[in-house]
Amino acid sequence: MSAAPRHRLPGDPAPTAEIERMLRVDHAGEFGATRIYDGQLAVLGRGRGASEVRRMAEAEQRHLATFEGLLRRRRVRPTLLQPLWSIAGCVLGVGTALLGEAAAMACTVAVEDVIDAHYRDQAERLCGEDAALSQTMADFRADEIAHRNAALAQGAEQTPGYDVLTAAIRAGSRIAIWLSTRL
């Protein structure tokens, strides 16, 4: 397959450095996702809504394991902020689950909105440079879209303050991505 030409601007990182940053931020994101669901499951326990959360959590564990393997093989260090994401993810998970199952689902909708666009962007950028990795991003993006749809089907939008809650979580997720790409 011939590599598609990619427009690079002066100051853009070299492909390897850029791919390292992508792997680092994706690993951070999947780690954060597992912590959100850890927090939600600690509150929701074995209730009705917990089975959907557990299914999503299992997918995030698979995603995380993939990025752990990629970091090891490519000798990329994880983000320095991992301890922070451990706490922040758990707090977000516990907090939203305490607001109720619909709020827990709204959290997934908000996070997956951001991750959908994030993986789409990465898959496009990697397309001509690392086809296998691009496919991984595309596959995981499909999982995240399925999580968002499942959360909407579970009544995410019925939580009081849905718009404010999801806007805040989307903003936080974008900040976490920005930081994890750089640190």
Radius of gyration for the chain, computed over Cα atoms and rounded to the nearest angstrom: 17
Minimal distance, residue 93 CB to Fe ion, in Å: 13
- Which of 56/127 has CB closer to Fe ion? 56
Minimal distance, residue 94 CB to Fe ion, in Å: 18
Angle between helix axes 50-74 and 101-126 (nearest 10 degrees) is: 30
- Which of 128/155 has CB closer to Fe ion? 155
- Which of 108/159 has CB closer to Fe ion? 108
- Which of 15/21 has CB closer to Fe ion? 21
The residue count of the chain comes to: 183
- Which of 8/62 has CB closer to Fe ion? 62
Closest CA to 103 of 48, 160, 46: 160
Minimal distance, residue 1 CB to Fe ion, in Å: 27
CA distances to 45, 60, 74, 91, 140 from 116, in Å = 28, 14, 24, 22, 9
Minimal distance, residue 42 CB to Fe ion, in Å: 18
Q: Which stretches of the chain bind Fe ion, using CB under 5 A?
A: 30, 60, 63, 144, 147
Beta carbons of 155 and 105 less than 8 angstroms apart: yes
Minimal distance, residue 144 CB to Fe ion, in Å: 4
